[in-house]
Amino acid sequence: MGSQAGNTVVVTGANSGIGFEATAAFAAAGAHVVMACRSTDRGRNAKREIEQEYPGASLTVHELDLGDLDSVERFADWYRAEYDALDVLANNAGVMAIPRSETADGFETQFGVNHLGHAALTAYLLPVLRRTNGESRVVTQSSGVHERGRIDFDDLQSEHDYDKWDAYAQSKLANVLFAYELDRRLRAAGASVTSVACHPGYAATNLQLRGPEAEGSRLRVLAMKAANVLVAQSAEQGAWPLLYAATEPDIDGGEYVGPTGLFDMRGHPGTQQSSDRSYSEDTARRLWTVSEELTGVSFDLPEP
């Protein structure tokens, strides 16, 4: 990754895991990073940790709860008041395979946080992205699990039938569909903003533990910890695809970036093919419309 001096980056979920590692890497390369965190206490602790390793790091912590659309709007209002530019929006935060719950707005939590919260944030920050000098990027973090995902428009909130992994896969497929549709609409608008999807492969983070912990399953917690040690790559390596998608000069927009090693689970980043369902423009267009209706937040972009 080349120098990021003079660039401003927003990373959601910046206080732990891949978000933390990406934040540290951006800051080490000279960018100013806004750490968008649900817990500002954990965010400030992460900020101090990065500053200890990189004394010149330029970091700001601000509250963002993607499970609360009012919080998303407050964050965007604050950002637009404080900053004139945004070079990279890294839609990274997420929850995985948790027992069914709902966001403050009544959405199934995985769909609400992983997709709808980030879609609303992107819409709110799009005017800043568009007026930034040069090319700015929106990078949306998905998962290889998106390949098993289907968008169930008849039960988007999994009210009638909930399987934690199916709900997670749906939210991660929504991430890829959203990233591709956003890029198509940005192109139609002639905007100097590109949209890219990525996935980290299998990286050792706390994300894998939250579902078993919420279920109170000590055995599954131990199993996940063992898998993280024996199979996964590090969180630092898991951040590579996001960093590549955000900074690689050859990225044109509309790509899917992930590890290129064993089973696309580890290794150096590169562009890949996502699932066949993720390329359905009809599904993406319908999801876009439904997402605007559910969040009440609209994009000022033409339909491609």
One digit per residue, the tens of pLDDT, for the chain of length 304 reads: 999 999 999 999 999 999 999 999 999 999 999 999 999 999 999 999 999 999 999 999 999 999 999 999 999 999 999 999 999 999 999 999 999 999 999 999 999 999 999 999 999 999 999 999 989 999 999 999 999 999 999 999 999 999 999 999 999 999 999 999 999 999 999 999 999 999 999 977 665 445 555 556 565 545 454 444 445 688 999 999 999 999 999 999 999 999 998 776 879 999 999 999 999 999 999 999 999 999 999 999 999 9
Active-site annotation holder among 168, 180, 202, 256? 168
Q: Which of 47, 57, 62 is nearest to 4 (CA)?
A: 57
CB contact at 8 A, 199 and 278: no
The token pair at 222 is: 């131990």
CB contact at 8 A, 18 and 242: yes
Active site residue 168: yes
Ordered domains of the chain (ranges, CATH): 8-295 (3.40.50.720)
Q: Which residues contact 49 (CB under 8 A, 6 or more apart)?
A: none
The token pair at 107 is: 């959405």
